[in-house]
Structure 1
Amino acid sequence: MNVGQRMTRNPITITPDMSVPDAQALMRKEKIRRLPVLDKNGKLVGIVTARDLIHASPSPATSLDMYELHYLLSKLKVEKVMSHPVITVTEDLPIEEAARIMADNNISGLPVMRGEVLVGIITESDLFKLFIELFGARHQGIRLTVLLPEKRGELAEVSSAIAKNGGNIISFATFEGEDPTNSYCTIKVNGIDRETLLDVITPLVTRIVDIRES
């Protein structure tokens, strides 16, 4: 799955000369937390987040009165608080690579470019939705987490055993284990009862870590 399949297309944008209060109002109205900033030629020049705008507000400890604060804030432009240059991605980038870039750079969203043109934005919320799908969280079934030995054909053996006993795999995900010799695997299935699932899987795995209906 690539970024282009999960991004928000044609994101709402602002210009560098928009005031901070106007940008905050736009975020509240549209229920979003970040805005790409385009110059008059449509070129991406920055990105501003709700946190950036909050940090731009004067400190509560200031000696200015309320009217002075509002006046100063109304004059503060987005270009003064936006982040630039901007880390961007392309539509054909694998979604997990976009997640890695966000995590490594401690950012919550990435503008998506097609050449010099902004075509979308991928955010942490998009990744959360994908995470829900990955684990089949909106489907009823038995959720089983096991510790598997790291050997060729192990996943195929587990999935085949489930299928042969009438189970339907809703989701199947693997993760780093306790050491290089093993890995965790979380499987969600339906069409098979708990006892049968345990009888089928237990001989194939190092350990049953967790099992529950969800």
Structure 2
Amino acid sequence: MPTKVSEYMTAKVISATADTGLREAFFLMKDEDIRHLPIIDNQGDLIGIISDRELRRPNWVDESPDIGHEYQLSDDLNVGDVMIKDVISVRTNDTLTKAISIILEHNVGAAPVLNKAGELVGMLSAIDLLQAFQDTLESQRSNKKKKSAA
């Protein structure tokens, strides 16, 4: 039976709303040790996402800082001002193979996971997928040992 996204997703979802300040979002991500922050509306529906990459190297800054320039985030802008609105997501019942295809096709590092009702219930990251890969390799290795011992 194919492995489903729900088996490897991170179920603890840290999220923010569109009116969260950029600085606040940065420290939330740092404190929670996450690289992707889903943005939800007041009903809890997914409306966007922001990654640490956007916060570290903002493409929404008008001028290019010199090398070595440290960009100072402030709460003058909200995550809603800079979030990616066309969110690439996967579903809990998708196979890992399908999820990997979606993530690779869109070149994203993680994808929010939605249930059948479209509710945000998790995140699927490259780390989660590497864990699935490692588990598969260990299972194959274990099966080979059992066959050779028989």
Normalising by the smaller structure, the TM-score range is 0.7 to 0.9
Tell me the distance in 1 between the aligned counterparts of 2:66 and 2:125.
34
Instruction: Give the percent of matched residue pairs that are identical in Structure 1 and Structure 2.
Output: 30
Aligned residue for 1:86? 87
TM-score by length of 1: 0.58
Is residue 129 from structure 1 mapped to residue 102 from structure 2 by the alignment? no
Two-structure CA RMSD over aligned residues (Å):
2.8
Q: Secondary structure at the match of 2:94?
A: coil
- Deviations along 1:134-157, whole A, 9 cap, x unmatched? 222xx9xxxxxxxxxxxxxxxxxx
For 2:35, the equivalent position in structure 1 comes to 33
Whole-angstrom distance in 1 between the partners of 2:94 and 2:20: 31
Q: Which amino acid aligns with 2:66?
A: A
Which deviations, in whole Å up to 9, do the C-alpha atoms of 1:65-86 show, x marking residues without a partner? x9xx74x733121112211121
1:170 and 2:139 equivalent? no
Moved over 4 A (4+): 190-193
Distance 1:190 1:117 in 2: 42
TM-score between the two structures when normalised by the length of structure 2:
0.81
Relative distance call for 1:122 and 1:190 in structure 2 (3 A) is: same
Check conservation: 1:19, 1:74, Cα contact below 8 A: yes
Segments of structure 2 that go 5 or more residues without pairing to the other structure are: none
Larger Rg: 1
Specify which structure has the higher proportion of strand.
1
Q: Is the 8 A contact 1:16 1:38 kept in 2?
A: yes
Paired position in structure 1 for 2:66: 61
CA-to-partner distance for each residue in 1:97-120, whole Å, 9 max, x for gaps? 101110111011111112231111
1:170 maps to a residue whose letter is S
Shift of 1:189: 3.4
Task: Provide, for residues 18-64 of structure 1, a one-character-per-residue CA deviation record: whole Å limited to 9, x for no partner.
Answer: 111111111111111001100122111001111011122854339xx
**Counterpart-to-counterpart distance in 1, 2:141 and 2:133:** 17
Residues 53 and 81 in structure 1, CA contact (< 8 A), matched pair in contact too? no
1:101 aligns with 2:102: yes
Offset at 1:10? 3.7
Structure-2 residue corresponding to 1:75:
76
Q: Which amino acid aligns with 1:32?
A: I
Which has the higher relative contact order, 1 or 2, with Cα contacts under 8 A spaced 6 or more apart? 2
Aligned amino acid, residue 61 of structure 1 = D
Q: 1:190 to 1:46 in 2, by over 3 A?
A: same
Residue type matched to 1:134 in 2? T
